[in-house]
Amino acid sequence: MAVKQLAYIVFDITPDKLPAMKDIFEKLYQAPVLQGSDGSLKVRLDGRDFRLMLRPGDSDRMAAVGWEVEDKAALEKLVAAVEAADLPVARASAEVCAQRSAQEIATFTDPAGFPVELFIEQPFEQKADFGFVCGEGDNGVFGLGHLVQACGDLQKALSFYKEVLGFFEVDEIDWKEVNADLRFLSCNNRHHSLALINEALGLKGGQIDHVMLQAKSLEQVERAYEALDELGVVLSQTLGEHSNDHVRSFYFLTPAGFRMEFGYGGKVVEDRDSWEFAVYPGPSNWGHEPVNV
């Protein structure tokens, strides 16, 4: 039994940066953003109440990574596996579950120091379409884009996600030029929902490199790329195509200090048994040139 999909991410953001973050999602991504009574911002990408939550906080940090599981039996089996790996698990309160739009949540910190929430989803309207590949579709389960996490002990983190949470390793980028080793992990039809990287490219264990959102059309990505200067958003890497999953995308730096990627297309994992693992020497076929660094 494995996790089903990356369903949500919660960030704590200092209040002075929240307006600029709201502009990024509303104006660059053109996604609906709802404001809660507590000052939090809920970014919607589909029919779910939120996919990204930005809460007012004392510092800028990732507060929770929500991985959906199929049902109660799957949750309990994964909780037992996490506890067997000597990681303490807590149960979230009814208040927290309501905030996350979840039936039940089990929380723990993964071996690299990231806050994980395994949860059972509350039913929601599946028909809403805001132009993003997210959650479930006619051609499979894809969840929320992907997340790249830096790990002090890459092998330990890799073993945990594969052996305990049931992820499937699709490929690797052995980027010797910058001493970076990236491992790409899938839990559904998306090429990867999670990538793990060693301490490289200025990243330390426990930090995220970026969060990726996937558009349903290349035109959405190109339109956003052209709007960067007008919106005052800092480009991090130019438009390009990745070597392993063939996603066309660009990267930018958020006011909160982490990067985001906006992309279109990419390979789909239709059958794990027939998938051929590959190692790539670099991350891009073309483009993705670093800027403003």
**3 state SS for the chain:** CCCCEEEEEEEEECHHHHHHHHHHHHHHCCCCEEECCCCCEEECCECCCCCEEEEECCCCEEEEEEEEECCHHHHHHHHHHHHHCCCCCEECCHHHHHHHCEEEEEEEECCCCCEEEEEEECCCCCCCECCECCCEECCEECCCCEEEEECCCHHHHHHHHHHHCCCEEEEEEEEHHHCEEEEEEECCCECCCEEEECCCCCCCCCCEEEEEEEECCHHHHHHHHHHHHHHCCEEEEEEEEECCCCCEEEEEECCCCCEEEEEECCCECCCHHHCCCEEECCCEEECCCECCC
pLDDT score, position 293: 59
Architecture of domain 5-286: Roll (3.10)
Q: What is the pTM of this model?
A: 0.97
Max Cα separation, the chain? 51
Exposed/middle/buried for residue 18 (C-beta within 10 Å: 0-12, 13-18, 19+): buried
pLDDT score, position 36: 86
pLDDT at residue 153 is higher than 90: yes
User: Residue 271: CB partners within 8 Å, gap ≥ 6?
Assistant: none
pLDDT score, position 1: 57
Residue 23 and residue 248: Cα distance in Å, rounded? 23
Every domain of the chain and the residues it spans: 5-286
Percent of the chain with pLDDT over 70: 99
Residues across the chain: 293
Determine contact, residues 235/252, Cβ cutoff 8 Å.
Answer: yes
pLDDT score, position 125: 86
Residue 102 and residue 31: Cα distance in Å, rounded? 22
pLDDT, tens digit, for every residue of 265-276?
A: 999 999 999 999
Other Cβ atoms less than 10 A from the Cβ of 86: the count is: 7
Percent of the chain with pLDDT over 90: 95
Residue 280 and residue 183: Cα distance in Å, rounded? 11
Kindly report which listed range (124-128, 193-197, 239-243) carries the lowest average pLDDT score: 124-128
pLDDT at residue 13 is higher than 90: yes
Task: Kindly report the average pLDDT of the chain as a whole number.
Answer: 96
Average pLDDT over residues 280-290: 97
Structure tokens at 54: 């930005």
pLDDT, tens digit, for every residue of 188-232?
A: 999 999 999 999 999 999 999 999 999 999 999 999 999 999 999
pLDDT, tens digit, for every residue of 244-255?
A: 999 999 999 999
